[in-house]
Amino acid sequence: MKNITKLTWFFILITALFINSCSAKPEQEYITIGALLPLTGDSSDEGIRTLNGMQLAKQKINESGGILGKKLDIIVLNDRGDEEYIVKQYNVLKERGVAAIIGSSYSYVTIALAKISEKDGIPVISPTASNPDVTIGRPNVFRAIFIDDYQAEAMAHFAYNTLNARNALVLKNRNFSGYMRAADVFNEFFSEYGGETTVEYFSSEDEFPGILENYTNNKPDVIFCPEDYVPGAILINIVYEAGFNNTYVLGTDAYDGILAYVFNPEAMKNVYYSTPFSYDDQDMEIRRFVINYLDNFSQMPMTGAATAYTCVYILAEAIKTAGSTDKNAIISAIKENELDTILGNIKFDENNNPQTNVYVIQIESGIYSTFMKFRL
C-alpha cells in the first residue's frame, strides 16, 4: 500500500507539473517609458497628434524586434496642459519605474516637468516645447524640436531675403516669456539684415484690431507674431478683414493646425510659418511615415506627430546604446548618438537642443505645403 501511495502521488505531481507547463504563458518582458500629454482641454488637439505619433513608433519598433530583446511599452497619462497637475502625473510615472518620459507639448507645462525631474535625473524629452529655458542647465532634459531662437532667426532671414520685406510689425504677447523671446530674436536679426521694425505689445487677441488700426495708412511688409494656432488664426482673420492684402503674416511652429480656425481660406494666402517637419517632403522615410500615419488615423501628420515619433526613436536608440535602462547611461547615450530621423540629422548641442531642418509652410487652397526648406 505504501508503494502504491508513493506511486500515486508521483503521478499526481507529474500531471500537475505538465498541466501547469501547458497552461502557463511565458511572461513577456517590457521596457517601459512614460508620456505626459494634454489629452483634454484646449491643448488636446496637439496632445492627440503627439500620442498618435508615439503609438506608430512603438508599433514599428516592436515589429522590428523591440529593444534589447524586449517589447517597448508606453504608459500615457493626461497632464491636462496644467503645470501643477503634470507634477502629480510625473510622480505616478516615477512610481511605475519608467525608464524615461516623453512630454509635454507646450513649453510652460514642460518647464514644470523639467524642474521636478531634475532632482531624480529621469531622462525627459519633449516633442514640441521650443522655449530655450526648458533644457538650459538640465542635463536630463532634451527636446526633438528646434528652439524658438533658431526658428525666429530663420523667419527673419526668410522675411528679409526671400519675401524682400524691409519693414516689420512685431507683436509681443506679455503673458508668455517664450513668445516674447522669439519676437525679440526676430526683431534683432531682421534689424541686423537691414530691416526696420516696430514693436507692439498685447495681452489679449481683443487688442489686435486696435493695433492694426494704427497702421492702416502705413501697412507693414510683414507682421511677425509668435503665438499658438488659435490666437494666430484670430490675427489672420482680422488682418484679412482689415484689408492688409499686401502684408505677410509670419508665425512659428505653434501655427500648425491653424487652418481649422481661419474663417476664409483666402486669408491664408500671405501666411507663412516655420516647422521642423512637412508631410509633403519627398524623402523616402518621411513618405513611409506619412502613409503609415494616414492609414492608421485617416489624416495627415502635423509637426507634433512627427516630433513625438522621433522622440520614441531617440530614446529607443539611446537604450540600445546604453545596453540598459540605467537613467545615467541613457542620458549619456542621447548626448553621444547622432541619428538620421524624419526631422533630419539630429545631434544634440551643449544645451540638449537639436538643430533640425526648417520648413517654411504655406497653406494654399486648404492644403499645407512646403514653400521652402533650409538650415541656417
Backbone phi, psi, residue 263, to 5°: -70, -40
Query: Alpha-carbon distance 257 to 70, whole Å?
Result: 36
Residue 255 CB partners (closer than 8 Å, separation 6+): 227, 229, 232, 271, 273, 361
Rounded Cα distance between 71 and 361, Å, is 37
- Length of the chain equals 376
Report all structural domains of the chain as residue ranges with CATH numbers, in order of start: 31-146+282-357 (3.40.50.2300), 149-275 (3.40.50.2300)
Is residue 358 a contact partner of residue 154, using CB atoms and an 8 Å limit? yes
| pLDDT of the chain, 376 residues: tens digit per residue | 444 444 444 444 444 444 344 444 444 599 999 999 999 998 898 999 999 999 999 999 999 999 999 999 999 999 999 999 999 999 999 999 999 999 999 999 999 999 999 999 999 999 999 999 999 999 999 999 999 999 999 999 999 999 999 999 999 999 988 899 999 999 999 999 999 999 999 999 999 999 999 999 999 999 999 999 999 999 999 999 999 999 999 999 999 889 889 988 889 999 999 999 999 999 999 999 999 999 999 999 999 999 999 999 999 999 999 999 999 999 999 999 999 999 999 999 999 999 889 999 998 888 899 999 998 8
Q: What is the pTM of this model?
A: 0.87
**Measured CA distances, 214 to 175, 198, 228 (Å):** 22, 12, 24
- Which residues in 65-88 are b (16+ Cβ under 10 Å) and which e? ebbeebebbbebbbbbbbbebbbe
C-alpha distances in angstroms, 228 versus 105, 223, 233, 235, 256?
Answer: 12, 15, 9, 11, 8
Cell numbers 531642418: residue: 357
